[in-house]
Amino acid sequence: MTHGDHPTWRDRYLRPRRVGALVLALLLVFGGIGYVLYAGTPGDGTDAERWSRSVAEATPQQVLGGERRPGFPSVQRVEHDGLVFTVTVAPALPGRNLVRVDTLPREGHEHEADDEELTVEVDGGAEPVEPTKRPGADGLWAVVDLPAGNPTVLVAHGPEHRIPVMLETGSSETADRLWAGPDGPECLQAATAAVLAGGKAPNSCPAGSLRSSDRPGLTSIVTTLASRGVEEIALSADASPRSAAAAKLVRRLAVAEGVRVVSPSAAPGSRNALLVVAGWQPAAERLAAVSSLPVQKQALRSDGVWLAPWLLSPGVVDSTTGAVIPLDFDIRDPAAQRYSQTLAKYFPEQSPTGSAYVAWRGAREGADARGESAFYAASRAAYMPAEPGHGSHETTVSWFPGGTVTRISLPTG
C-alpha cells in the first residue's frame, strides 16, 4: 500500500470535525444562554472548562519559531493528558528522518508517559514504531520515512491519545543518511542548538567531516602519549566520514612518533592507551561493554582512555569510569554556562553536550570561535568532595551534575 492509499489524519480528524463544528455552532447559537447557566462560573471545573483546556492542550506550539520550513528542525511542544510532550523532527526533508520524543509531567500531575507505550508514525505511512533509547544520548528516538510536501507525524501514548505534529518537507532536497544512523542524535542536537542561538539550521551533520578545530586536539593526544613513553595506541573508530578521517590522522601521527596503532581487541602491551574517535553511540556501546566486564577480564590500559573532542556527552562519559578529552572550552566558562542555562530553559529534558555547544557558540560568535585548548578529565562520578579550596573539582553547572570535567594540563596548542 502506498502513502496515498492510507486515510490520512486530516481525513480521519479534520473532515469529520467540520460537520461537528457546524453542529456545535448551531447549538451555541440556539442554546448559549441555557448552556452558560448550566456551565456555572469560571474556575468551577465544569465540563466546558475541561473541554476548552483539552482543545488548547492538543495544539502543539513551535519552540524554535512559528514557521515550518523544509530542512529546518521542527520542535513542537504540547501539554496533553497531564504531560508536556516535546517532539523534534529533523532534518524535515523527504526521506529518513529522526524523531526525538521527550516527556515531562505537568506541574501538579504524577502521570508518566512510561505508564503507556509510546509510538511514532507518519500519517498515512508505515506501521507505528516505538521510540527507544540510544546509547550515548538522552531522550527517546525513532526513525520515520517522510514524503515530500506537508506530512504529519503522529505521537501516541496509549490507544486513545494521539498528538499530530505537522511538517513541511519541500521537494528539492532529501535527507542525509547520517540523520537516520547512529550519529543522528548528535546531528539533531547540534542543529537545534544552532537555531536556538539564532543561527541557520546546519545543512550537514558534525559526523559528516573532521572539523579543522578537532585536529589540534587529536594531534595533542598522540604527541602527549608518545612523550610519556606509550608504545601502542588501541584505536576505536567507526565508518562515519569524521571517524575515518580522524583514524587516518591518528595513524599518520603515530607512525611519525614511532607509536604502534592496534585494534582495541588486541592484547594490550605494557605501555598502551585507548583512543576513541567513533561517534556517540558506538563509543558508548564499546566503552560500556568493557566496563561491564569483571575487573580481571578488562584490558589493562596503563595510560588510560582518551576521547575525541566531540565525545563530551554524558551518555558517553557515563560508559566508562573516567577519560581524558581535549577541549577548547571549559564548561565553567561564562559562555558555556549561558548555553547550559538557555538549554535548560527551552529544553529542560536535554543534557548539554560538547557538539551542541560548539554549534551554539559558532552561531553566536562565528564558526572560527575557539577558546584556550587543554586536556580535561571527564567522569560522572565525583570522587573528591567539595571542600574549601577544592571547588574546581566538582561541576556546579548543569553539564555534569555530580560529576567532573576538570582541567588537568596546560593548553594543547
pLDDT digits (tens, 9 = 90+) for 284-310: 999 999 988 888 788 889 999 999 999
Q: How many CB atoms lie within 10 A of CB 219?
A: 17
Per residue in 53-67, pLDDT (tens digit) is 333 345 778 888 767
The C-alpha atoms of residue 318 and residue 353 are separated, in whole angstroms, by: 13
Fold adopted by 215-407: Rossmann fold (3.40.50)
pLDDT value at residue 385: 41
Domain limits, the chain: 9-175, 215-407
Element (H, E) at 338: helix 334-346
pLDDT value at residue 12: 47
The C-alpha atoms of residue 29 and residue 95 are separated, in whole angstroms, by: 47
279 within 8 A of 243, measured Cβ to Cβ: yes
pLDDT tier at 102, thresholds 50, 70, 90: very high
Per residue in 188-246, pLDDT (tens digit) is 999 999 999 998 888 789 999 999 999 999 999 999 999 999 999 999 999 999 999 99
Which of residues 260 and 17 earns the better pLDDT score?
Answer: 260
Q: Which residues contact 243 (CB under 8 A, 6 or more apart)?
A: 207, 237, 277, 278, 279
Give the residue-averaged pLDDT of 377-381.
83
The C-alpha atoms of residue 146 and residue 94 are separated, in whole angstroms, by: 5
